[in-house]
Amino acid sequence: MDPASLLLMAGFLHLAFANGIDQLSWFYRMQPLAIMDPDSTGGDCPAECDCPPTFPIAMYCDNRGMKQMPYIPSRMKYIYLQHNLITTVSDEAFKNGTNLVWVMLHENQIAEIGKRAFANLVNLDRLYLSGNNLTEVPSNLPHSLRDLRLNHNKIDKVSPSAFEGLENLTTLLLNDNSIQDIGSTLKGLKSLTLLDVSRNQLKKVPDGLPAMLHQLYLGSNSIDAIPGNFFNHFTNLQYVRFSHNALTDKGIPPNTFNVSGLVELDLSFNKLERIPTVSTSLEHLYLQANQIKEFSLGSFCSVVDVMNFSKLKVLRLEGNEITRRDVPSDSAMCLRFASDIAL
């Protein structure tokens, strides 16, 4: 017998055996009435998954050592496939998926996704693909997406059209990949509020970041400069992290951070020698592990006007070249809320 026939025979035996021991689910699958009546059975369900009768639009297939995508009954809205060993998502995998709202595929070994795999998921809201082996952003992502998680993959290139049409996307996680350049691909994401591109290989701040951003995380890259007036075009930005980069004083134009609205600014583990000027509205400033040599009160308050005190609560300066003796005695007036100054 040739290997192909052997494989075929093994397949039949496997099927027969599976049907024998799994008569209950086989029975349900053979009963059209049962399929029509989700209240009593939960409806058609792949043998390796659970579809609770009380919540017949959800399919739980997580943590089962699955190596392949199961078939997906068309009534499903939520599918949980995380923590398996799936390597491939074919163009046909989601053929029945027009009702899908959440697809959880994180922590698998997906290295390949068909170019049209997600194309007909017109109602998809969340797509979690974190912790896989992807080397690029999947093509033809549904325009309905609001939450896309691609962190902890091996993505090293982002095509110019990767995020095109995702007008409702609010969360995009790309952290822990190998992206060197993201171009202007994020420009059209007009609803984006959270962007995480930490722990990649960016050499500069991405161009055309969406104005609606509320949280911007760019830590652990190789960024050495911030463009002039960078923060002026954001209307809601509150949390900014640039820790573990290569920022120098020269790379930060004056007043870059002196913009109202910022609440938290993380510039720790860079190469700054001065405390940059920040807005009086800032509450948390992380500057530890830089090369700061002086405590310049003018960075926080305009010294001439004691009414302009800083709202800083947390200021971290340890691991720099200053000590408590370098803090001027008149700083109490300016930093009156800073109960937590670490030196």
Q: Which window, 2-10, 172-180, 235-243, 305-313, contacts ligand NAG (CB under 6 A)?
A: 305-313
Q: Is 236 an interacting residue with respect to ligand NAG (CB under 6 A)? A: no
Nearer to ligand NAG, 144 or 246 (CB): 144
CA atoms within 13 A on the CB side of 84: 23
Strand 126-128 vs strand 171-173: parallel, antiparallel, or unpaired? Answer: unpaired
Closest CA to 244 of 322, 294, 319: 319
Nearest to 135 by CA among 156, 115, 161: 156
> What is the length of the chain?
343
Tokens of 163: 């995020």
- The distance of closest approach from Cβ of residue 74 to ligand NAG in the complex, given in angstroms and rounded to an integer, is 5
Q: Is 109 in the site for ligand NAG (CB under 6 A)?
A: yes
- Hey, is 127 helix, strand or coil? strand
Among 19, 34, 64, 95, indicate the residue that binds ligand NAG (CB under 6 A): 95
Determine, following the binding rule CB under 6 A, whether residue 30 of this chain makes contact with ligand NAG: no
**Which residue bears the tokens 């134009």?**
253
Q: Is 73 in the site for ligand NAG (CB under 6 A)?
A: yes
Distance CA 83, CA 25 (A): 24
Q: Which of 63, 308, 323, 339 binds ligand NAG (CB under 6 A)?
A: 308
Q: Over the Cα atoms of the chain, what is R_g? A: 26
Beta carbons within 8 Å of 32's beta carbon, 6+ residues apart: none
Residue 83 sits in the site that holds ligand NAG (CB under 6 A): no
Nearer to ligand NAG, 51 or 289 (CB): 51
Helix axes 23-30, 3-21, angle to 10 degrees: 90
- Closest residue to ligand NAG using C-beta atoms: 71
Q: How far is the CB of 122 from ligand NAG (least distance, A)?
A: 8
Options 19, 68, 96, 99; binder of ligand NAG; rule CB under 6 A: 96
**Minimal distance in Å, beta carbon 20 to ligand NAG?**
21
Q: Which of 99, 135, 144, 170 binds ligand NAG (CB under 6 A)?
A: 144
Looking at the Cβ atoms of 41 and 243, the one nearer to ligand NAG is: 41
Residue 149 to residue 196: CA distance in whole angstroms: 10
90 binds ligand NAG (CB under 6 A): no
Two structure tokens written together for 22: 């799994």
Which residues form the interface with ligand NAG (CB under 6 A)? 44, 71-74, 87, 92, 95-96, 109, 111, 133, 143-144, 167-168, 255, 258, 277, 298, 302, 305, 307-308
